[in-house]
Chains A and B, each alone.
Chain A
Amino acid sequence: MRAQLLHEILPAAAADGAPLLEIHDIHLAFAGVKAIDGVSLTVHRGEVFAVIGPNGAGKTSIFNCVSGVYHPQRGSISFEGRDLLGMRPDRVADLGVARTFQNIELFPQLTVLDNLMLGRHQHLHYGTPAAMLRIGKAAREEARNRAVVEGIVEFLDIQQHRKSFVAMLPYGIQKRVELGRALAMAPRLLLLDEPTAGMNLEETEDMARFITDIRRELRIGIVLVDHDMHLVMDLADTVLAIDFGRPIAVGTPHEIQSNQDVIRAYLGQEHAVADPGGSA
């Protein structure tokens, strides 16, 4: 039987390239330490948007602001026109924003299938009694959601690990499972925090292929934070470089690659900071 394409199991976005996520001039400080200092960006449907920068530049903090873990003191964040500021993480997830974490955040004592089924949590619409008895709507929904999860298992080629406990799996496979859980949420925006950190070459290539396929088959927006410059340059349409929480440059991978400020930031030298708010 032919493998399903992602848009056959998950809702795909319209190919209109409309703005999806708009961040305008956000500022985040912890007890006086500025983590984000005036970052703005716009991610469109079907776009892979990469955020790069040295360690501690504030990349993950941006993700945490979007997903509702942190609340920036200033600025605005909107998703499909809805204001995300001050929203709880679960509400943000309900709206269609899914993420993965730098340090894998799965349930290690559950199986791969159970972790993925948890990703379907917000798509389950039955009550506790039905769930306990596994009857009627509960049984039907369970089967429907399992079918989605099986499609994701097939996509990620992790059939052999289906019933393994996550804690027992190699790191590279855990990363895949985490991507799978984010996909299971049927997101319209996917935030990937260092999806290839700590991976070998083969695992990195696999992950790059998954991201390419997700973009092509679902046309959702993808925001990518990564250290691996090659990966970012291969995958991203737009790259934003930041350092010390401040934007340095934004542009196509090619433009960023040849930007002197970006090069200096990576080498740890002094550099200019782009006009906040004026970019992206």
Chain B
Amino acid sequence: MTTTLPQTGTVSPASRLRDFAARTPDAIALREKSRGIWREFTWAQFWDQAETFAHALLAHDIGRGDRVAIHSDNRPEWLFTDLGSLAAGAACMGLYPTNPTAEVEYLLNNSGSRLLIVEDEEQADKALAVPTSDLPMLERIIYLEHRGVDAYDDPRLMSWDAFMEAGQAHRTAHPEAVAVRMAEAKPEDLAYLVYTSGTTGPPKGSMITLANLDFATREIAGDEGIVQPGPGPDDLIVSYLPLCHIYEKLFSVVFNTGAGVPIHFGESLDTLVTDMRDVQPTIVQGVPRIWERIHAAIQVRLASASRLKRINAAIWMTSARYVGNTLVRREGRHTLLSRGLTQIGNLFLFRSLKDRVGLRRVRYGVSAAAPIAPEILQFFMSIGVPLYEAYGMTENCGVATTNRPGRVKLGTVGEPYSGCELRLDPETGEILTRHPAVFAGYWNMAEATARTIDSEGWLHTGDVGEWVDGTHVKIIDRIKDIIITSGGKNVSPSEIENTLKTSPFIKEAIIIGDRRKFLTALIGIDFEVASEWAQRHKIPHTTYRDLSEKPEVVKLVQKAVDAANEKFARVEQIKSFRLLTKELDHEEGELTATQKVKRSVIEKKFSDMIESMYR
């Protein structure tokens, strides 16, 4: 992609946005569904908002060397804040909407944020619950939604509209101020502080620089990137994973400002399915949990359809299994027969099935952030949703490996990006990466940084991997999660857990067995799916706990466990399991903000249950 505009300063998402606004001012950059209608922002409007935000920061004397925090669900103002901060030279730090007060206090103080954007009363209350003197750096709290907050009298509060008006006034008085700041930008400037949720210890702020983002943009969203042919204005992305996480940033910011892909914001997380159905995105980013849930929803839909539809589904799902096996064998490439079967299957079943869940037009789907079961990937491939597993982490700006069209090896996370050096530590098997998107270190944590990036610039990922056929990488597990049984066998829990989670009835699975004679599991049912099943089988139930304690449900899960056990060697088989009697929750400390299970917390919290399996 070439540009005729004079380049000043370092390329950043903000400068890319500005260039799009100059080149294609009237093309659509963002859409937002509000009060039932999809409303559009052109590139010119998008840049106008981001630039105004940047001016507003400058009007408050916030710029280079400062941090701006935002605590909100995904919405256009999130991106105005993000890109406006970059334009002003400040760094942006996002909080998870689920972060409770104590974490909000920690993150604001640790990052030294001077300005905080809050979405609404709920998020404002969290920051306001902290005594002013305990947030010494925080000067201003800007709120997006007026309801309730209008009545507060904290002097730090200011409405978004008033803040943006200050930006307008600043722009009138100093029309060139933002352009000057952008020209001053350096590749090593801090762009984002991305806090890793940390399954152990307090969150650490990963420093992502403009240079990191530039490399990531070219590797991922460039013409030679992961989407072939390269992504562009005709693609569609729905933004729904937390925007403070590097994964969603790559899609909502990098694909948008790097390749001009319009980003869509739905009405809320609760309406995701409807929003996806409206948009029918072409590029879909998902974590395994999302793909598992869509998979479960499709299974339920097929099972509860009318008799004729069930017969039709049985025929075409059999065909799909053949297609899936063919694709897996041929690394994602069709044969004449498999292509033909898919196309006919589309007419009879797949097209309408995919339409219902918003996946009809997907040309690139990706699963990352946690390991996914190969069965799930194969299922989506078999019904014509090209889904690829990729691998990356905050510390390398999400850039490490990906499966590519026609070169898919199931059970691996794919091949390293062209500009990415990747090797395995000869002793531990730990995956090491080195490239220009390796982060600048942990914010104010030199020691932790030194443990993570070695003197030669290799990032120690903490994941153990192995090469498959010399080209693809297979992740074994997190180093610290690997279970060593009392018999001395090394077992990777996540592989077993993911196999269990391919059952639509199982939402959570935690394998226990470190320093023990055999493996056991704590299993959480998927309430919606199990409840639907129970209703169909006329099993009365009330709460999650009640349903989990039904003998029929225990039997159902036992079947899934037995099926999983068949795939593993004896030492890797689950000898006993217990069903969790509550749904795991971030606010109660059982899950991280990204919904990863905190093993240590679970093992402590449910220790009685665990011990009962070894007695």
Contact = CB atoms under 8 A, between A and B. Distances in A.
A1 B271 contact: no
B32 interface: yes
Contact of A1 (B39, B147, B270): B39
Majority SS at the chain B contact face? mixed
Interface stretch (A41-49, A73-81, A145-153, A234-242): A145-153
A226 to B, nearest CB: 22
Given A147-B35, A151-B35, A3 B145 contact: yes
A5 B34 contact: no
Q: Which of B32, B37, B146, B147 has the most CB of A within 10 A?
A: B147
A159 B271 contact: yes
A266 B458 CA distance: 73
Q: Which of A5, A151, A159, A216 has the most CB of B within 10 A?
A: A159
B335 interface: no
A160 B268 contact: yes
A154 interface: yes
B74 to A, nearest CB: 13
Contact of B267 (A4, A5, A159, A216): A159
Interface in B378-405: none
Nearest to B33: A159
A162 B268 contact: no
B274 interface: yes
B39 A150 contact: no
Interface in B1-58: 32, 34-37, 39
A159 B146 contact: no
Q: How large is the interface on B (under 10, 10 to 19, 20 to 34, 35 or more residues)?
A: 20 to 34
A151 B151 CA distance: 21
B144 A2 contact: yes
Given A1-B34, A150-B35, A153-B36, A160 B270 contact: yes
Nearest to A148: B35
A205 interface: no
Interface in A1-32: 1-5
Contacts of B145: 2-3
A159 B39 CA distance: 16
Given A159-B267, A160-B270, A160-B271, A213 B147 contact: yes
Interface string A173-198: 00000000000000000000000000
B470 interface: no
Contacts of B270: 159-160
Given A162-B36, A216-B151, A2 B268 contact: no
B442 interface: no
B247 interface: no
B148 interface: yes
B160 interface: yes
Given A159-B36, A213-B148, 15 more contacts: A1-B35, A1-B39, A2-B144, A2-B145, A2-B160, A146-B36, A147-B35, A150-B35, A150-B37, A153-B36, A154-B34, A159-B270, A159-B271, A160-B267, A160-B271
12 contacts: A1-B32, A1-B35, A1-B39, A2-B145, A2-B160, A2-B161, A146-B36, A147-B35, A150-B36, A153-B35, A157-B268, A217-B147
